[in-house]
Amino acid sequence: MRRYPVTVINGVKKDRAKGISLSQLMSKYQMSKTNVWHHVKDIYLSPEKRKAIRSYLGGSRAEKVREWERAEKEASSILEKTDIKSAWPILYAALYWSEGTKSSFVFTNTDERMIRVFLFILRTNLGVKNDALDFMIRTCAPMDALVCRKYWAEVVNVPLSQIRINHHDKHNKSTTKYGICRITLKKGAYHLKLVHCLYKGVADKMLVAGPRSSTDRTSHS
C-alpha cells in the first residue's frame, strides 16, 4: 500500500464524509481505488449521501452512453468523406508501425478485427499468398489449444493444419480467451523494407502538410 502524506489522507477522509464518490476521490487525489477504499471504508455515510452518490454514478454512466453516441456519429461523418480503398497504405503502415516487429516481418495481435484487416491488405493490395504466411498462436493455461487453433483458423481463413501452437504458461501469459496470433511473412525482407518506407513516407507527408508554426507565418508575412 502506497504511503501518502497525512494531509492528503485527511483530505480524502473529509471529502468522503461529505459524500464524494470513490471515482471522484481517485481523480482528485490521483489514488488507486484500493488506496482510496483503504482510507475511507470505515467512514459512515448517511442514507441521503449514499443516495446522492448512486445518483452521481447513474449520471456518469448516462454521460458515457451519450459520449459513445456522439463519437459514433462523428466517426460516421468523418468516414463518409474518406476513400477507404485509397486509405490502405496509411492503415497498413499505421498497423505495422504500432504492432509489427521492426527487425523481421512479424505482426502480432489479439484483436480479431485488426488481424483480419492486416491480412486483407496483405492479400488484396500486396498479393501475398497463404503459403507465404506462417501462423503461430501463443497460448497459456487454461486455454484449450485445439479451440484456439480452430478459432484463429477461421479468423485468418486458412486450413487448421496451417495453424501452429506455442504453449508456455510463463512466456505467453495472457488473459485473452484464444491466445495471441503471430503472423510471420516468410522471406519478408522486401515487404519489411516496403512497410518501413511507407510509414516513413506517410509521416513525412503529414508533417510537411501540417500547419505552419507561428514563426513560419511571421517570417512570410
Note the pLDDT of residue 219.
47
> Is 30 in the same domain as 136?
no
pTM for this predicted structure: 0.67
CA distances from 25 to 3, 8, 50, 186 (A): 16, 11, 15, 52
Note the pLDDT of residue 53.
81
> Whose CA is closest to 96, among 71, 59, 126, 60?
126
The three three-digit cell numbers of residue 14, written as one number: 473529509
Domain range for residue 177?
Answer: 85-209
Which residue shows C-alpha cell 486450413? 159
> Is 109 in the same domain as 68?
no
> Is 173 in the same domain as 68?
no
> Is 64 in the same domain as 122?
no
Domain presence at residue 221: no
Which of residues 78, 95, 114 is at a domain's end? Answer: 78
Note the pLDDT of residue 50.
85
Contact 102, 188 (CB under 8 A): no
Note the pLDDT of residue 74.
93
Note the pLDDT of residue 4.
85
Note the pLDDT of residue 52.
83
Contact 185, 132 (CB under 8 A): yes
Note the pLDDT of residue 101.
93
Note the pLDDT of residue 96.
95
- Give the residues of the chain that fall short of pLDDT 70: 1-2, 59, 210-221
The three three-digit cell numbers of residue 164, written as one number: 501452429
> Is 128 in the same domain as 143?
yes
